[in-house]
Amino acid sequence: MMSLDPATVRRIAKLARIRVEDAELPKLQADLAAILGYVEQLGEIDVTGIEPLSGAAQMALRMRADIVTDGGQTEAILANAPGREGDFFTVPKVVE
Partner 1 sequence: MLTDLTIAGALAGLAARDFSATELTTAHLDAIAALNPQLNAFITVTPELALAQAAAADEARAKGHAGPLAGIPIAIKDLFCTKDVRTTAASHILDHFIPPYDSTVTAQLRAAGAVTLGKANLDEFAMGSSNMSSAYGPVENPWHRQGQATRLVPGGSSGGSAAVVAARLALGATGTDTGGSIRQPASFTGTVGMKPTYGRCSRYGIIAFASSLDQAGPMARTVEDCALMLAAMAGFDPRDSTSAERPVPDFAAACRHSVKGMRIGIPTEYAAPGMPAAITDIWQRGQNWLREQGAEIVEVSLPHTKYGVPTYYIVATAECSSNLARYDGVRFGERVEGEDLIDLYERTRAAGFGAEVKRRILLGTYVLSAGYYDAYYLRAQQVRQLILRDFTEVFSKVDALLTPTAPSAAFAIGEMMDDPVTMYLNDIFTVPASLAGVPAMSVPAGLDHQGLPLGLQVIGKHFDESSVFAVAAALERAAGFTATPSLMAGAKP
Q: Is 63 helix (H, G, I), strand (E, B) or coil?
A: coil
Instruction: Report 44-73 residues binding partner 1 (CB under 8 A).
Output: 45, 47, 50-59, 61-62, 64, 73
Residue closer to partner 1, measured from CB, 19 or 68:
19
Q: Which amino acid is residue 35, in one-letter code? A: I
Angle between helices 6-15 and 25-39 in degrees, nearest 10: 90
- Distance from chain centroid for Cα 51: 24
Interaction residues for partner 1, span 3-42 (CB under 8 A): 8-9, 12-13, 15-20, 28, 31-32, 34-36, 38-39, 41-42
Q: Which of 9, 16, 18, 62 is nearest to 36 (CA)?
A: 9
- Does residue 59 sit in helix, strand or coil? coil
Binding site for partner 1 (CB under 8 A): 1, 8-9, 12-13, 15-20, 28, 31-32, 34-36, 38-39, 41-43, 45, 47, 50-59, 61-62, 64, 73, 76-77, 79-83, 89, 91-94
